[in-house]
Amino acid sequence: MKSLTIIRNEHRSLGAVLFCLKHLVSEINQGKHPDFRVFHGLLMYIDRFLDRYHHPKESNYLFPAVLESNPELAPVIEELGRQHREGEQLFIRVLKALSAFEYCGPSQFSEFQQAVTDYTTFEYEHAHKEETEVLPVAEKSLSIETWEKIDTAFLNHQDPLFGDKPSGEFNKLYKEIVSIVPAPLGLGDAWES
């Protein structure tokens, strides 16, 4: 059941980046001057990580297998699929609000703050729903053969941080993000007031 470990690890990786995003917005609220590169880096990571690695594994391999063994979970699986699409829209809202804040100034900050709050809350709740309503059922109900097929598909995708064949592109991006996110959240210089 390596796939379960992969999904949970990826939720953790994503959670760490969302945590950063939320707390950096708090820092601006407390009067710190933002470095917009940091937000661009975090959002690029989230965008590529979710789109290329995380959601396709769930939607293409795990959810269909769970649905086949547990048809009563159809409403939950459909809701999670719908949430993947809703999450994309909330993410686009964050991107637009960031551009407005960056180019039009502090008057646009509150919309950016709200967009980040709504998006991070949404993704946390989405991951929580998967981990509490789908993964435990999958763990108990899927056969060893099914898990082997899912594991093979997942391992070919690879978690960019902790897979056995980490993607160079994502590793590099993640290191760059850690190096520019301001301390104490990351290793970059702290933002000034």
Partner 1 sequence: MKLSVQDLEVNYNNVAALKQISLEVSDGAFVTLIGSNGAGKSTTLRTISGLVKPSGGRICLDDQRIDMLSADKILRLGIAHVPEGRRIFKDLSVAENLYLGAYIHQDKAQIDLDLDKVYSRFPRLEERKGQHARTLSGGEQQMLSIGRSLMSRPRILLLDEPSLGLAPIIVQEIGHILREINQQGVTVILVEQNADLALQLADYGYVLETGRIAMQDKAELLADNEHVKKAYLGI
Residues that bind partner 1 (CB under 8 A): 1-2, 5, 8-9, 12-13, 15-17, 19-20, 139, 161-162, 166, 171, 174-175, 177-179, 181, 183-187, 190
Distance of alpha carbon 13 from alpha carbon 60, whole angstroms: 21
Distance of alpha carbon 107 from alpha carbon 173, whole angstroms: 30
- The 3-state DSSP class for residue 164 equals coil
- The 3-state DSSP class for residue 182 equals strand
Q: Which residues contact 53 (CB under 8 A, 6 or more apart)?
A: 10, 157, 158, 159, 160, 170
Nearer to partner 1, 13 or 83 (CB): 13
Nearer to partner 1, 20 or 127 (CB): 20
Q: Provide the minimum distance between the beta carbon of 135 and partner 1 in the complex, in angstroms, as a whole number.
A: 10
Q: Provide the minimum distance between the beta carbon of 183 and partner 1 in the complex, in angstroms, as a whole number.
A: 4
Nearer to partner 1, 6 or 115 (CB): 6
Q: Provide the minimum distance between the beta carbon of 137 and partner 1 in the complex, in angstroms, as a whole number.
A: 14
Q: Provide the minimum distance between the beta carbon of 148 and partner 1 in the complex, in angstroms, as a whole number.
A: 15
Tell me, what amino acid is at 104? Answer: C
Is the preceding peptide bond at 56 cis, omega within 30 degrees of 0? Answer: no
Q: Provide the minimum distance between the beta carbon of 33 and partner 1 in the complex, in angstroms, as a whole number.
A: 18
Distance of alpha carbon 25 from alpha carbon 22, whole angstroms: 5
Nearer to partner 1, 29 or 99 (CB): 29
Nearer to partner 1, 31 or 184 (CB): 184
Residue ranges of alpha helices (H) inside 30-73 are 36-48, 55-57, 63-69
